Amino acid sequence: MTSGATVTQSTVTKKQTAVTVPFVDLKAQYEAIRSEVRAAIDRVLERGDFILGDAVRQFEAEFTAFCGVKFAIGVSSGTEAIRLALEACGAQEGEVITVANTYVGTVEAIVQAKATPVLVDVSSRNYNMDLDCLERAITPKTRAIVPVHLYGQPVDMDPLLEIARRHKLIVIEDACQAHGARYKGRRAGSLADMGCFSFYPSKNLGAYGDGGLITTDNPEYASKLNLLRNHGEKVKYEHVIQGSTSRLDTLQAAILRIKLARLDGWNALRRSHAQYYTQELKKLGIAGPIEEPWAESVYHLYVITVPDREALRRYLSQQGIQSGIHYPIPTGRTNYFPSYVCGA
Ligand SMILES: Cc1ncc(COP(=O)(O)O)c(C=O)c1O
């Protein structure tokens, strides 16, 4: 895993004679939607409904339709989405199993929810949760599993859900890198008890700041999440449970509505760029990421493994092509998450 290098998915821009491929090019995307974004921001400023305003409700409704779920609750980040989802289903005080190879936010959220993270290894084939490790990591204290649809490819959810059912565990998808991805035709975020999304600016669906969202079909979770994200407030100044300031910002929701309408098209472009990379890398004897038969990946990241990562990165850099490592340090090896890692 540590030899992975991520090649950019963004557009090619010409700088005099050199061709530069930046890792992310948010400005190019902004140019395409500039007038709509400015009008949407202006509408919010005119209305002044900055907190849980109209655009939040509209975006939530559009996201439920997009994902094929009953409820969507906009929150302040992907990390908060996972924390609140764990709190809504009462997973605190127990162990929560996720993967060692994920963004640190997944594990932070578990710790912040006062649960104990248990980290398992990923498959070297598709970089997602190794289900044999998952089974071995389950104990009487396990409350929930947080599979991460890493790099935009969904985890093989049917066998995972079968394991969860057998052990009576709640499953919360970390879909923070998988907006619009499909598992056997169904969208990431609609496959388990709850799904968590991040709208960090560089995501496939990114805000112009922080944002997140939780999807669910469960009305009890949905109403608890609505309380938790907003100081436990049922009606004005009536706080029925302890909550926090964890709402999705109205301005961000207004921007996200514009981007959501284009997401399937943008994802289709990523998929065709990925196919092109894979086809060309094959000619060099380098294998691209494996897209599993159950998955329609949205290639949030295009990650390959090579024998000499640093040499490849140096070469790419000389050609003006940026790359990254996702992730240089597995979360289980950070000194502030002293966790059991299965399979390491
Ligand atoms: C897999 C994964 N989980 C969780 C998060 C946390 O999301 P946020 O940065 O919005 O808190 C991210 C975001 O980078 C992520 O990629």
Q: If you measure from the C-alpha of residue 176 to the centroid of ligand 1, how many angstroms do you get, rounded to a whole number?
A: 5
The pLDDT score that the predictor gives to residue 338 is 59
How many domains is the chain built from? Answer: 1
Residues of the chain with pLDDT under 50: 1-5, 7-17, 344
> Are the CB atoms for 331 and 104 separated by under 8 Å?
yes
pLDDT of residue 331: 83
* Predicted pLDDT at 11: 41
CA of 236 to the centre of ligand 1 (A): 31
| CA 79 to ligand 1 centroid distance, Å | 6
Whether 187 is in a domain gets the answer: yes
Give me the pLDDT at residue 3, please.
Answer: 38
78 lines ligand 1 (CB under 6 A): yes
Q: What's the pLDDT at 339? A: 61
**Ligand 1 atom nearest 149 alpha carbon:** 1
- Residue 8 domain flag: no
Domain range spanning residue 105?
A: 33-257
Is 96 inside any structural domain? yes
The verdict on the CB of residue 106 being under 6 Å from ligand 1 is: yes
Give the distance (Å) from ligand 1 centre to CA of residue 82: 9
- Specify if 272 maps to a domain: no
- The pLDDT score that the predictor gives to residue 109 is 96
200 Cβ below 6 A of ligand 1: yes
Residue 250 lies in a domain: yes
Name the helix (H) or strand (E) containing 143.
strand 142-145
How many whole angstroms from 123 Cα to the centroid of ligand 1? 20
Q: With a 6 A CB cut-off, is 176 part of the ligand 1 pocket?
A: yes
* Residue 75 belongs to some domain of the structure: yes
pLDDT score for 312: 93
What pLDDT, on a 0 to 100 scale, did the predictor assign at position 19? Answer: 55
| pLDDT score of 2 | 32
Atom of ligand 1 nearest to the CA of 212: 10
Res 334: pLDDT: 76
pLDDT value, residue 233: 95
The pLDDT tens digits for 258-299 are 999 999 999 999 999 999 999 999 999 999 999 999 999 999
Kindly give the distance from the C-alpha atom of residue 286 to the centroid of ligand 1, in angstroms, as a whole number. 29
Calculated CA dihedral for residues 206, 38, 51, 103, nearest 10 degrees: 10
Strands 295-296 and 95-99: unpaired
208 assigned to some structural domain: yes
- Give a yes or no: residue 324 inside a domain: no
N- to C-terminal Cα separation, the chain: 11
C-alpha radius of gyration, the chain, whole number:
20
Which CATH number is 216's domain given?
3.40.640.10
The pLDDT score that the predictor gives to residue 12 is 43
| Ligand 1 pocket, residue 152 CB under 6 Å | no
